Amino acid sequence: MREIIDEIHPWFKNREPFALATVTRTWSSAPRPIGTAMAVSQSGEVVGSVSGGCVEGAIFEEAQEVLITKKSRSVTYGVSDDNAFSVGLTCGGTIEIFIQYVDKESFPNFELVAEAIEEEKPIAIATLIEGPDQIGARIIFDGKEIYGTLNSTSLDHSVVEDGRGLLSQGKTRTIKLGKNGERRMDQLSIFVECYAPAPRMIVFGAIDFAAALVRVGKLLGYHVTVCDARGLFATKKRFPDADEIVVAWPHKYLPTVDVDERTVLCVLTHDPKFDVPVLEIALRTNAGYIGAMGSRRTHDDRLTRLREVGMTEIELSRLRSPIGLDIGARTPEETAVSIAAEIISELTGGSNRPLSHGSDPIHKNSLASETDKAPETHGSNLI
């Protein structure tokens, strides 16, 4: 919903009801990830997309029905060889979409959620999407406060406990619990939609390659910081796309930052007096990706220096150096694409092989669990 909040928030403020369709689960090569949203206003305006154009027409019709009945529902679209083009999910896979009716009475805390998203404050919405009754009930929470209920104190407790763990990691997914929150049961499906602040990318070294990487980092949704001890080079004029410019020694700045498993650290200084001290600190953090620029000779020298300051082989194994994938990059822009490709691969477990050379599913990170099989689809929902 984050990507369409600027369009749907005014609808809510103006008391115009709308249907909100959100991808809650995917199987195989589904076109859009879980959490992707599309909304249909009462006047028929559409914003967002749940499948890149594949099933939007069908979802529009379902949304119209939800606007009339004011009853939320889940729909599933899958693929069949006999009718692959009828609705349009031609890339294969299966997607489950929850369509809910939204107005000030049905979702009184929507304003709270919208403001948190717009201000980049962490917040999560847990919605009951499958169960014997109360479909559409929701509970909203952040790190401290809880709003609403799923109509069971024990269920609320389990959902908030699990959901806060997901929120801390910025992960959105559907969880299954018993009616009273039992974790070994699957009577209920609860969609936990987490809106955490953007993950951080910190680029050390105010060089021309950094300027290109900053632009790519913003494209990928990171909050990007450029850090360099040289104030002459670390300026907003040279890095207009950066969220933050820090003039400080990298190894003194990094300990002041909250680093988690979503954080990306890129050391582009390729100067021992800058990169060895900051890498000594970086490799002992929980950062999800740590890369350093330089030639292979620079890399070998860097490893020697890091071993001399006490870094272990296990710690050094986390370092991606020379930074980036081998795609033949030469220019700063091409190098930034190379680095971005390695970051994505590192964080998602990509194989780095050409897709044309493999036969595995293209989208590996299905949010369905290993034991959660794709549901049967019927009628117009089968494609």
Looking at the fold, whether 262 and 183 belong to one and the same domain comes out as: no
Number of domains in the chain: 2
Looking at the fold, whether 158 and 235 belong to one and the same domain comes out as: no
Q: What is the pTM of this model?
A: 0.67
> In which domain, by residue range, is 132 found?
2-197
The CA distances from residue 283 to 29, 126, 273, 328, in Å, are 34, 35, 16, 27
Looking at per-residue confidence, does 31 or 247 come out higher? 247
Alpha carbon 253 to chain centroid, angstroms: 26
Residue 212 included in any domain = yes
DSSP-assigned letters across all residues of 95-110: EEEEEEEESTTT-TTH
Spatial contact of 317 and 333, defined as CB atoms under 8 Å apart: no
Which of residues 146, 164, 197 is at a domain's end?
197
Sign of the Cα pseudo-torsion (58, 60, 64, 66, in order) = positive
The CA distances from residue 154 to 126, 157, 164, 178, 192, in Å, are 14, 5, 16, 10, 17
**Measured between alpha carbons, how far is 302 from 175 in angstroms, rounded to an integer?**
45
**Measured between alpha carbons, how far is 300 from 310 in angstroms, rounded to an integer?**
16
Looking at the fold, whether 192 and 214 belong to one and the same domain comes out as: no
Q: Is the omega angle on the peptide bond into residue 277 within 30 degrees of 0, that is, cis? A: no
Residue 381 included in any domain = no
Residue 361 included in any domain = no
Residue 27: per-residue pLDDT: 75
Residue 378 included in any domain = no
pLDDT in tens, 249-302: 999 999 999 998 889 999 999 888 999 999 999 999 999 999 999 999 999 999
Looking at the fold, whether 131 and 208 belong to one and the same domain comes out as: no
Looking at the fold, whether 170 and 274 belong to one and the same domain comes out as: no
Looking at the fold, whether 171 and 266 belong to one and the same domain comes out as: no
The CA distances from residue 86 to 26, 58, 64, 78, 94, in Å, are 19, 11, 20, 11, 14
The CA distances from residue 87 to 34, 39, 214, in Å, are 20, 19, 39
Residue 173 included in any domain = yes
Residue 360 included in any domain = no
Looking at the fold, whether 271 and 136 belong to one and the same domain comes out as: no
Spatial contact of 34 and 173, defined as CB atoms under 8 Å apart: yes
Spatial contact of 55 and 43, defined as CB atoms under 8 Å apart: no
Average pLDDT in the chain: 87
Looking at the fold, whether 193 and 212 belong to one and the same domain comes out as: no
Residue 362 included in any domain = no
pLDDT in tens, 154-191: 999 999 999 998 888 788 999 999 999 998 888 999 99
Please list the residues that pair with 75 across neighbouring strands.
97
pLDDT in tens, 296-351: 999 999 999 999 999 999 999 999 999 999 999 999 999 999 999 999 999 888 88
Looking at the fold, whether 323 and 346 belong to one and the same domain comes out as: yes
Looking at the fold, whether 254 and 272 belong to one and the same domain comes out as: yes
Residue 376: per-residue pLDDT: 52
Residue 348: per-residue pLDDT: 80
Q: From start to end of 231-330, where are the E strands?
A: 244-247, 264-267, 289-292, 319-320
Looking at the fold, whether 6 and 54 belong to one and the same domain comes out as: yes
Q: Which residue in the block uniquely carries the two structure tokens 């959620």?
A: 113
- Domain of 218, CATH number, reads 3.40.50.720
Residue 246 included in any domain = yes
Looking at the fold, whether 163 and 254 belong to one and the same domain comes out as: no
